[in-house]
Amino acid sequence: MDYFTRREVLCAGAFLPAVIPAVMSEGEETRADTAKPKRLEEVGGYQIAEAVSGHPLAILPLGSLEYHGPHNPLGADSIIISGIAERVAVRTNALLLPTIMLTFCPSHTAHFRGTMSIRPEVMTSYFADVLRNTLQLGFTKIFVLNGHDGNIGPGRGAISEVAHQAPEAAILFANWWEFLPGEMVKKLAIFSQSNGGHGHGGPLETSSVAAFRPDLIHLSSAQDMPEPPDMSGGQPYFLQKSTAKNWPGYSGKVSEASAEKGRHLVQISEDGIVKLVDNWLAHPDDPGSW
């Protein structure tokens, strides 16, 4: 995940809950937490045809291995997106592909020790091959569920390339953090930042990692940093610098992070993503957001 203000409006038609329930539905939470998705790597050779025909879509989660501050694991994005993808796969009866973790990381995090970055042109070709293989498996619908800003360019490039070559394919792409717009998160009043806690390694992201792996969060190792500046009033933009001077690799009031807040946020995102997928599957002939 990265700066929310860079988000692309990919999910213009996506549902966002107008009212955030104060208490999560325990029944839903329990069902999603205990049910396990069908994973591609667990499909027996003799079960392939059944696995494809028995699931309306395949989900491909995209993560990263990237420095997210001293308090977060390097696999922060991968942990969040794998956790959300598991639950979305259960709720949409999707076949779950393995999370791709070694991906492209932008210049402002690439120089931090611990970041593993693959060149964007390599990632575009790699993603395209994964998508082609998934289509050759027999799926016509693939949902690319993204957990990392650096995957947006290569991911969408690969999708465009493959969709052009396979006319029967439909490939959906969404970023989990875009289901948590800053204005909506602000209304939850769980973070004091004006942008709702967004930002690389910030309180929203740290809380979301903690929702799945609280054992990997070490808040005492980091101090609160200034929140990312709001340069556009919340509108999306993309700014890339070769270096980020005097930046410690994360931003925001990380002391406000907690697993409980993360579980609430992740649930909202998960519900919005499931709604998007359900709408997509229910209206296969609709053009989408264009």
Segment lying near Zn ion (by CB under 5 A), choices 73-81, 101-109, 135-143, 152-160: 73-81
Of residues 58 and 65, the one with the C-beta less far from Zn ion: 65
By C-beta, is 1 or 74 nearer to Zn ion?
1
DSSP 145-183: EE--GGGHHHHHHHHHHHHHH-TT-EEEEEEGGGGS-HH
Q: How far is CA 44 from its chain centroid?
A: 28
Binding segment (CB under 5 A) for Zn ion, from list 37-45, 75-83, 98-106, 173-181:
75-83
Give the strands of the sheet with 95-96, arranged side by side.
Answer: 38-39, 95-96, 58-62, 141-146, 170-175
Binding segment for Zn ion among 45-53, 76-84, 246-254, 279-287 (CB under 5 A)? 76-84
Between residues 150 and 272, which has the closer beta carbon with respect to Zn ion?
Answer: 150
Look at residue 138 and give its three-state secondary structure: coil
Residue count at the site for Zn ion (CB under 5 A)?
2
Q: Read off the tokens for 187.
A: 């209304």
Beta carbon of residue 148, minimum distance to Zn ion (angstroms, whole number): 6
CB 64 within 8 A of CB 15: no
Q: Which lies closer to Zn ion via its Cβ, residue 1 or residue 257?
A: 1
The closest residue (CB) to Zn ion is: 1
Binding of Zn ion at residue 1 (CB under 5 A)?
yes
Give the interface segment with Zn ion, choosing from 70-78, 95-103, 158-166, 252-260 (CB under 5 A): 70-78
171-to-74, 110, 131, 179, 245 alpha-carbon distances in Å: 28, 29, 9, 19, 38
Choose between 146 and 267: whose C-beta lies nearer to Zn ion. Answer: 146
**178 is a site residue for Zn ion (CB under 5 A):** no
Minimum CB separation of residue 63 from Zn ion in Å reads 9
> Which of 37, 61, 77, 174 lies at the binding interface for Zn ion (CB under 5 A)?
77
Q: Judge residue 56's burial from the number of C-beta atoms within 10 Å of its C-beta, 0-12 exposed, 13-18 middle, 19 or more buried.
A: middle
Identify the bridge partners of residue 60 per DSSP, sorted by sequence position: 144
Q: Rounded to an integer, what is the distance from CA 43 to the centroid of its chain?
A: 24
C-alpha pair distances (Å), 144 with each of 89, 138, 149, 195: 12, 16, 13, 26
Closest C-alpha among 91, 78, 203 to residue 151: 78
Nearer to Zn ion, 202 or 272 (CB): 202
Min. distance of Cβ 90 from Zn ion in angstroms?
24
Give the per-residue contact string, 196-235, with Zn ion (x = CB under 5 A; - = no). Answer: ----------------------------------------
- 172 part of the interface to Zn ion, by CB under 5 A: no
Binding site for Zn ion (CB under 5 A): 1, 77
